[in-house]
Amino acid sequence: MTELFKQYKKFSISEQVYRFGEEILDALAPRFAQIDKNAEYNQLKVIGAMQEAGVSEACLLGTTGYGYNDLGRDTLETVYAEVFETEDALVRPQITCGTHALALALMSNLRPGDELLSPVGKPYDTLEEVIGIRPSRGSLAEYGVTYRQVDLLPDGSFDYEGIRAAVGERTKMVTIQRSKGYQTRPTLSVERIGELIAFVKQIKPDVIVMVDNCYGEFVETREPSQVGADMVVGSLIKNPGGGLAPIGGYIAGKRECVENAACRLTSPGLAKEVGASLGVLPAFYQGLFLAPTVTASALKGAIFAANVYEKLGFAVVPDGQESRHDIIQAVTFGSPEGVIAFCEGIQAAAPVDSFVKPEPWDMPGYDSKVIMAAGAFVSGSSIELSADGPIAPPYAVYFQGGLTFPHAKLGILKSLQNLVDRGIVTVP
């Protein structure tokens, strides 16, 4: 018995489960080495952006009140614009979450009579009420913005003919969701997003293309803004916050689009000039600095999970060998018991609230009960080790995060042990 296994045994991991995990990890070493290379590239990109923007110790000091002349806030937005290679960026603690950032980008750049088109199928559940697919107070539909979508083809490819037919005179914006959400479709690579943007722009050059970049930042060495996206949008308690940002979101893109968003966030005439940083700037800066290596850890955890559960016969998206374009790993168990057991295992591996048992509940913005496991330092932070899923067919769970790979590894082994103990899974 190795000293390392003795530590795992304290978490009730059996020798059989531990050895099963080690065998899979041995085969992943070359792939993990490539992830480290990408992280190195992105780390240098972030450091270069910070140096180019002239980040100083004074940038770490916050402001209160109106936030006029907030050096750290304004410099951070310059850093984000440099990292994403855009004209401007809006990075604020007043943006409460990813859904808020997306709603802000949509509502500030669409007007009554405009149409929003999704050429990649149904958006993430919480956007349904923003758009008005499910009626909700204050939705785009209430303001006379219509919505159209073109589903992906059965093989996950774009329905180019359907998209061509859907783009019309009133199509003002195209929204592309990079990650899969609560679906089992493939995540879109930056290359595929670029191909789709080029196709749409060929049909209508002045259309605004927004990419929901959540869970995808720093997974590749390029971002969607580098292949034609007019706006990329995300949450700071996902990849770019590096696990340190306690709140916040970002919109990076063309200056006019960002300025529109700033006017909607604060007030016309005030825009980016106000919005105090309230002492969060050190976490925002250091979180972004750490983001490439933290994302790499989460990515390794997702690949480890894919290979573990694929070998046990479960459907996983992406599969164990596919190229990766976000940090989310979907595993389909086919039963509520499997989803719940998995999430309970992830929670039991947490440094915070490990003793809590997650239960399915009616979460705001979702149309079915959802179970969420997240014993995190920042509440709801999905760059930290977490898992969630709707209690609805096909009963798939979505695993993401892990500030360090050892923690992600523990979470996966703990989830597997939980399934084994309940007789849902047998380890060879």
114 within 8 A of 143, measured Cβ to Cβ? no
With pLDDT > 70 as the criterion, what percentage of the chain qualifies?
A: 99
Specify whether 227 is located in the same domain as 178.
Answer: yes
Final residue in a domain of this structure, among 288, 312, 339: 288
**To the nearest whole number, what is the mean pLDDT of the chain?**
96
Specify whether 87 is located in the same domain as 199.
Answer: yes
Residue 140: band (very low, low, confident or very high) from pLDDT cuts 50, 70, 90: very high
Specify whether 130 is located in the same domain as 97.
Answer: yes
Specify whether 207 is located in the same domain as 178.
Answer: yes
Q: Report pLDDT for 368.
A: 81
Specify whether 300 is located in the same domain as 183.
Answer: no
pLDDT at residue 246 is higher than 90: yes
pLDDT at residue 412 is higher than 70: yes
Final residue in a domain of this structure, among 238, 256, 288: 288
24 within 8 A of 311, measured Cβ to Cβ? yes
* Phi and psi at residue 91, to the nearest 5°: -130, 105
Of 230, 208, 214, the closest CA to residue 115 belongs to 208
> CA 399 to CA 385: how far, in whole Å?
8
Q: Who's near 127: CB < 8 A, 6+ residues apart?
A: 99, 102, 103
Final residue in a domain of this structure, among 254, 269, 288: 288
Specify whether 102 is located in the same domain as 188.
Answer: yes
Residue 14: band (very low, low, confident or very high) from pLDDT cuts 50, 70, 90: very high
pLDDT tens per residue, range 67-95: 999 999 999 999 999 999 999 999 999 99
Residues 39-66, mean pLDDT to the nearest whole number: 97
For residue 236, tell me if it sits in a domain.
yes
How far, CA to CA in Å, does 347 sit from each of 138, 182, 410?
A: 35, 20, 11
What CATH number is given to the structural domain containing 363? 3.90.1150.60
Q: Who's near 162: CB < 8 A, 6+ residues apart?
A: 119, 150, 151
pLDDT at residue 130 is higher than 70: yes
pLDDT at residue 365 is higher than 70: no
> CA 294 to CA 242: how far, in whole Å?
6
Residue 125: band (very low, low, confident or very high) from pLDDT cuts 50, 70, 90: confident
Of 17, 21, 13, 44, the closest CA to residue 304 belongs to 21
Specify whether 308 is located in the same domain as 412.
Answer: yes
pLDDT at residue 207 is higher than 70: yes
For residue 50, tell me if it sits in a domain.
no
Considering only residues 101 and 366, tell me which one the structure prediction assigns the higher pLDDT: 101
Residues 129-137, mean pLDDT to the nearest whole number: 95
- The helix-helix angle for 281-311 and 71-83 (nearest 10°) equals 40
Paired tokens of 150: 């073109």
Which residue in this structure is represented by tokens 């992105």?
42
Specify whether 38 is located in the same domain as 155.
Answer: no
For residue 51, tell me if it sits in a domain.
no
Count of domains in the chain? 2
Specify whether 33 is located in the same domain as 99.
Answer: no
pLDDT at residue 399 is higher than 80: yes
Paired tokens of 142: 């209430």
Domain with 69, as residue range(s), is 61-288
Specify whether 328 is located in the same domain as 315.
Answer: yes
pLDDT tens per residue, range 273-311: 999 999 999 999 999 999 999 999 999 999 999 999 999
Specify whether 261 is located in the same domain as 330.
Answer: no
Q: Who's near 26: CB < 8 A, 6+ residues apart?
A: none
For residue 426, tell me if it sits in a domain.
no
pTM given for the model:
0.95
For residue 196, tell me if it sits in a domain.
yes
For residue 55, tell me if it sits in a domain.
no
Specify whether 312 is located in the same domain as 278.
Answer: no
Of 417, 426, 273, 401, the closest CA to residue 341 belongs to 417
> CA 150 to CA 178: how far, in whole Å?
15
Residue 1: band (very low, low, confident or very high) from pLDDT cuts 50, 70, 90: low
